[in-house]
Amino acid sequence: EAAVTQSPRNKVAVTGGKVTLSCNQTNNHNNMYWYRQDTGHGLRLIHYSYGAGSTEKGDIPDGYKASRPSQENFSLILELATPSQTSVYFCASGDARGRPQNTLYFGAGTRLSVL
Amino acid sequence: GDSVTQTEGQVALSEEDFLTIHCNYSASGYPALFWYVQYPGEGPQFLFRASRDKEKGSSRGFEATYDKGTTSFHLRKASVQESDSAVYYCALGTGNYKYVFGAGTRLKVIA
């Protein structure tokens, strides 16, 4: 079964600190995504990747970096965390084969609080 | 850019009521359309999709029809149950494998 694992599940950070959120998938999917979820905004795309070594900016990339060192792993990096980045973050993977009607598989989320 | 609009932020129904959640999209080209469902403490999970005009997607009693003319993909269910209480997301998938989600609709079904 498709599996996307996020770590940590909960994180408390200080303003100005560096935060790294990690995501691992065992689906052998080429594409991976980072979304944040906020009330009233739903899921908004931060960064995505088409494969190892590639990262693309999503709709709200400011203040975030992404890293895709391997097929399986995709990290989201907050170099200087701010309280406005307090949110729930979801990682997802998707198959790149065929037309773009493929299902996304989501992890369980990381709840981040920046104080 | 591409976008998805869900009209209802919250919906409260009684069991056996009819459900409609409205979804309209704006996109260049011919996107695929999806519905996802999210239960408390979990990530969103795929419900169903449609990829061409007039195609109906369905799963677990839920259904929606791709309407290119009105740029809509409304979610419907004839008789909801308490177990359907969740957040529902409409989404579109574009030609470059970018997926855009709506703001979500929280459904609460009262027994």
Burial of B32 (0-12, 13-18, 19+ CB in 10 A): buried
Interface test with A, best of B42, B99, B105 (most A CBs within 10 A): B99
The 3-class SS string of B94-108 reads CCCCCEEECCCEEEE
Q: Residue B92 contacts by C-beta under 8 Å, 6 or more apart in sequence? A: B2, B4, B25, B27, B31, B32, B33, B34, B99, B100
A-B Cβ pairs (cutoff 8 Å, strict): 67
Q: How far is Cα B42 from Cα B63, in angstroms, rounded to an integer?
A: 22
Q: What is the pLDDT of residues B39-73, one digit of tens each?
A: 999 999 999 999 999 999 999 999 999 999 999 99
What are the DSSP calls for B12-50, one per residue? EEETT--EEE-EEEE-SS--EEEEEEE-TTS--EEEEEE
Radius of gyration of chain B, Cα coordinates, nearest whole angstrom: 13
Contact B102 A102 (CB under 8 A): no
Residue B101 predicted with pLDDT over 60: yes
Residue A2 has pLDDT above 60, yes or no: no
Q: How confident is the model at residue A87 (pLDDT cuts 50, 70, 90)?
A: very high
Question: Which band of pLDDT confidence, cut at 50, 70 and 90, is reported for residue A100?
Answer: low
pLDDT of B28 reads 84
Q: Give the span between the Cα atoms of B109 and A7, in whole angstroms.
A: 32
Distance from the A111 Cα atom to the nearest Cα atom in chain B, whole angstroms: 10
CB distance A104–B99 less than 8 Å?
A: yes
| CB contact at 8 A, B62 and B48 | yes
Q: Which residues of chain B make contact with A4, given a CB cutoff of 8 A?
A: 43
Please state, in angstroms and rounded to a whole number, the distance separating the CA atoms of residues B87 and B101: 12
| Residue in this structure with the two tokens 């009262």, named with its chain if needed | B110
A63: pLDDT strictly greater than 60: yes
The per-residue pLDDT for B84 is 97
- What would the pLDDT profile of B14-37 be if each residue is shown by its tens digit? 999 999 999 999 998 889 999 999
Tell me if chain B has a CB within 8 Å of the CB of A101.
Answer: yes
What share of chain B in percent tops pLDDT 70? Answer: 100
Answer whether B44 sits within 8 Å of A106, measured CB to CB: yes
Average pLDDT across chain A, whole number: 93
- Look up residue B64 and give its DSSP letter: E
Strand-pairing partners, residue B97, are none
Least confident segment among A17-21, A27-31, A86-90? A27-31
